[in-house]
Chains A and B, each alone.
Chain A
């Protein structure tokens, strides 16, 4: 998250609402470890990455839904190949668990 701070500061100063997505756990092979983070503001601007490109666009959709109040803050899992609602594959075959929340702290 270190690398996101300058942009987060700028967004906060501009009064933008921000959703923060952080990898909290990975199972098997994963491109980024726990703590990898990205942030999305209410205008859909995106900084950071959580997987090296595999799931970022799905995370943006989730983050915007959370900012819009359509979804609560929660853990979202990517990488299951079954009929999980958030089934977006990771090319490496791993599973990542992300926590996505509005940044209200």
Chain B
């Protein structure tokens, strides 16, 4: 019971936690709760195996990976040690905090994008310097609404962004866009998208060049104009095209219809 309570409160608080469960071998069903700090509750039945699985679960948790691993009855994990011995199979399930989406610009498209992002499990932050637009009341679906400029936002917590996270810049306003792009490029964010017409995009490239952003490796990270070419018009359709592009960027797919391609679906 204690193990479940530790586990469920970590998941609810969006803190990383891993569940290691014996699915074959002695003590089937025994469960150990592991966090980046170490084992926190439960046991797999003996101290040796608890120690080895804790070490491995911490590694899997860091990678955000869910996997089945094999051990000898006392936690042996090298293949030679596993010959002719009873094996213990352990399911290590990692629960990572939700990915982050930062949306710059408190506009109509923002509300639709925040809604769709929530469906996909993102923790959504809306950021705009204009106090009358950046309100929780206009964006009740967002997890957080910040009234600030991009610079301070990235300075304060840009290091939190990683490969699973997305920055979507919907402001259309160069005095906001350019620092937001600069800030995003300095992070490890996996996706950076910027809204605007093709004309706006061309002008934006000039402004970025003025502040010294010209490296091909930087420009290649910027998805602009943001979104897939679905031909949609409404904020909701645009939101779907943006998250579609985020998924395709992660999987490296071209986002064609499955009916127009062959090969494995997943």
Chain A residues close to B by CB (< 8 Å): 1-2, 5, 8-9, 12, 22, 24-25, 29-30, 33-35, 72-75, 92, 99, 101-105
Contact = CB atoms under 8 A, between A and B. Distances in A.
B24 A22 contact: no
Contact of A24 (B3, B4, B42, B68): B68
Given A8-B8, A74-B24, A105-B3, 18 more contacts: A1-B95, A5-B8, A8-B4, A24-B68, A29-B265, A29-B266, A34-B66, A34-B93, A35-B93, A73-B29, A75-B23, A75-B24, A99-B21, A99-B91, A103-B4, A104-B29, A105-B29, A105-B42
Chain B's interface: helix, strand, loop or mixed, by majority?
mixed
A29 B24 CA distance: 24
Contacts of B3: 105
Given A105-B3, A105-B4, A34 B28 contact: no
A74 B22 CA distance: 10
B28 to A, nearest CB: 5
A75 B21 CA distance: 12
A34 B67 contact: yes
Contacts of A75: 23-24, 89
B68 A25 contact: yes
Given A5-B11, A30-B266, A102 B29 contact: yes
A2 B95 CA distance: 9
Contacts of B264: 29
B12 interface: yes
Contacts, number: 54
Interface in B12-71: 12, 21, 23-24, 28-31, 42, 66-68
B1 interface: yes
A19 to B, nearest CB: 11
Contacts of A5: 8, 11-12
Interface residues of B, number: 24
A29 to B, nearest CB: 6
A34 B91 CA distance: 10
A9 B8 CA distance: 9
23 contacts: A5-B12, A8-B4, A9-B8, A22-B91, A22-B93, A29-B264, A29-B265, A33-B66, A34-B67, A35-B66, A35-B93, A73-B29, A74-B28, A75-B89, A92-B265, A99-B23, A99-B91, A101-B21, A103-B4, A105-B1, A105-B3, A105-B30, A105-B31
A35 B24 CA distance: 17
Interface of B: 1, 3-4, 8, 11-12, 21, 23-24, 28-31, 42, 66-68, 89, 91, 93, 95, 264-266
A91 B259 CA distance: 17
B11 A1 contact: yes
A52 B87 CA distance: 32
A60 B266 CA distance: 27
A72 B265 contact: no
A27 B115 CA distance: 33
Contacts of A33: 66
A22 B93 CA distance: 10
Contacts of B4: 8, 12, 103, 105
A34 B8 CA distance: 19
A92 B95 CA distance: 27
A43 B68 CA distance: 31
A1 B11 CA distance: 9
